[in-house]
Amino acid sequence: MKKLFLSLLLIPFLLGGCKKNAAPSIQYIQVNVTELTLMEDDTYQIETTVIKQGTIVFYSSANDSVASVSDEGLITAIKEGETVITVRGGKDSYNIFVTVNPFQAHDSLQIVMEKESYTLAVNDEYLLPIQVKKGNEVINDATLDFTIEKPSVISINGLKVTALSAGTTKCVVTASYQEEVVSKGFSITVY
């Protein structure tokens, strides 16, 4: 009986020693934002970083009538309201809470572009048709900064794009004027 009792006492120690260490969590993707406030007709390019190579990223909107999102992560604000944009990659999932306010032409800074994607041939130079407006007034002294996902594909100097090599890159232009800052995403494909 003593042996049985001692054996029963040792079982938890033996089982505890056999536990495997939990595998470290693998991160597949990261996103640059968790909350956004946009105005109707604004766009915003989500910057998604793929950490685990080969991970495919998917974007979806809980309410496409408020804000839609492209397969490349470009959010377009459509009408006043709130929605959630979900970014999924591997086992990771991020929610971006988006509030869309009604357009107020005279109260807000905006970036106006004729389209959201451009196609060039290697060595082409192209002047980006970008205007910064506040209401109907064109703001010529706004500061423009560009973020280029793949600087090996294009370079941007001022508004002039130079196509360097074949590929597609996402870009974000950020305009600053007085106390306001606004961003807009676009893409360029070079053949």
Confirm whether 141 is domain-assigned.
yes
**How many folded domains does the chain comprise?**
2
pLDDT top residue among 124 and 137: 124
Q: How many CB atoms lie within 10 A of CB 53?
A: 6
Which residues span the domain enclosing 75? 29-101
What pLDDT shows up at residue 4? 47
> What is the overall mean pLDDT for the chain?
85
Are 115 and 185 in a shared domain? yes
Quickly state the pLDDT bin for 139 (edges 50, 70, 90): confident
Looking up residue 93, the CATH number of its domain turns out to be: 2.60.40.1080
Are 93 and 131 in a shared domain? no
What pLDDT shows up at residue 178? 86
- Domain edge (last residue) among 84, 101, 118: 101
What pLDDT shows up at residue 76? 92
Are 96 and 143 in a shared domain? no
- Domain edge (last residue) among 74, 101, 128: 101
Query: Which H helix or E strand runs over 85?
Result: strand 81-89
Quickly state the pLDDT bin for 109 (edges 50, 70, 90): confident
pTM for the model: 0.47
Residue percentage of the chain with pLDDT more than 90? 53
What pLDDT shows up at residue 6? 45
Backbone angles phi, psi at 11, to 5 degrees: -55, -50
